[in-house]
Amino acid sequence: MYTTELDKTATAPTPIGGEDPALIAAFEARVAADEFIEPKDWMPEAYRRTLTRQISQHAHSEIVGMLPEGNWLTRAPSLKRKAILLAKIQDEGGHGLYLYCAAETLGTSREQMIDALHSGRAKYSTIFNYPTLNWADIGAIGWLVDGAAIMNQVPLQRTSYGPYARAMVRVCKEESFHQRQGFDIMLAMANGSPAQKAMAQDALNRWWWPSLMMFGPSDDNSPNTAQSIRWRIKRETNDELRQKFVDATVPQAELLGLTIPDPALKWNEERGHYDFGEIEWDEFYAVVRGEGPTAKERMKARRAAWNDGAWVRAAADAHEAKRAARSAAAAA
């Protein structure tokens, strides 16, 4: 990911390259008044870099996130399930495209972002470095992974950068459908044969903790949160969103008749929230570093897709050049 030289505290940011303090103050006043910042507006370089980092990581996650589910398209248990899964995966591709467009408005080209991903400089969500072993995993991804994504993305509809906030509106609507389709698969399996129910439980066991990791490091160890909250890029912290996700998901697991694999999970009357166990942070950081079980496979698939699609990009460029030449000739 793009390295950020941010002031990680919640106090006034350190201007980069002698930025005008009056411009910074005016920018901060607009953010504090909940105005959207638009591409042509002046913005501190650190704000631009943080957004480019986060939005491009988000776009990469959507695109790489197509792979684990794509693995089960040809083995969906019915035509209906196949059609639903196909539509969902296409939605993820669309989300990636809106997000790349939003990031491009900040001055980084699509090619630069893709190159950062393929060369290992850019991150994407840890969750997509886990394998999908069977059909129940498709249910668990929709239910838990898309469920976690919605929890994180609903507040991003009010993020301070206009193009990112607007992209999130449609993305969130589609993610709701994705979550419902995953829950529906889990419901069918949990109410199916004992073997199907066991598969659903096994998928929950494997996807629960990685889903909690999607929200990022704990607030104490999150270098970017304080500044991003200050600039209203993030509206809620990693731990706040993780807690909301746990609180919303426990009753859903109960309805399914499945057990969340956490002996420490317990309703805390005083807090009005569920307490839950400690995440294996060593595993999280190892997967962030690209040591996940399928990280190499994912990047190989993305590079192959980019190379195989070169002729489409060349054809689109040639078509555009012809169109431009025709309009120039007509105008002459």
Please report whether residue 13 would count as binding ligand BYC according to CB under 6 A: no
Comparing CB distances to ligand BYC, the nearer of 50 and 197 is: 50
What angle, 0 to 180 degrees and rounded to 10, lies between the N-to-C axes of helices 162-190 and 238-256?
A: 20
Choices 21-29, 40-48, 212-220, 295-303; region in contact with ligand BYC by CB under 6 A? 212-220
Comparing CB distances to ligand BYC, the nearer of 182 and 197 is: 182
**Position among 222, 242, 246, 258 found at the interface with ligand BYC (CB under 6 A):** 222
Residue 155 is encoded by which pair of tokens? Answer: 């507040």
Least spacing, CB of residue 19 vs ligand BYC, in Å: 21
Least spacing, CB of residue 121 vs ligand BYC, in Å: 9
Query: Of 87-146, which residues contact ligand BYC (CB under 6 A)?
Result: 92, 123, 125-126, 141, 145-146
**Position among 13, 44, 65, 147 found at the interface with ligand BYC (CB under 6 A):** 65
d(CA 193, CA 216): 36
**Position among 152, 159, 211, 249 found at the interface with ligand BYC (CB under 6 A):** 152
Facing residues of 274 across strands? 267
Closest by CA position to 66, among listed 84, 97, 99, 88: 88
294-312 in b/e burial notation, b at 16+ Cβ within 10 A?
Answer: bbeebbebbeeeeeeeeee
Contact between residue 34 and residue 232 where contact means Cβ atoms under 8 Å apart = yes
Count of residues of this chain found to bind ligand BYC when the rule CB under 6 A is applied: 30
Please report whether residue 213 would count as binding ligand BYC according to CB under 6 A: yes
d(CA 177, CA 194): 27
d(CA 289, CA 140): 24
Least spacing, CB of residue 41 vs ligand BYC, in Å: 22
Query: Which residue matches tokens 């060349």?
Result: 314
Taking CA 237 as the corner, what is the angle to CA 102 and CA 11, rounded to the nearest 5 degrees? 90
Contact between residue 53 and residue 86 where contact means Cβ atoms under 8 Å apart = no
Comparing CB distances to ligand BYC, the nearer of 125 and 201 is: 125
Which residues make up the interface to ligand BYC (CB under 6 A)?
1, 53-54, 57-58, 61-62, 65, 92, 123, 125-126, 141, 145-146, 149, 152, 213-217, 222-225, 228, 234, 238, 288
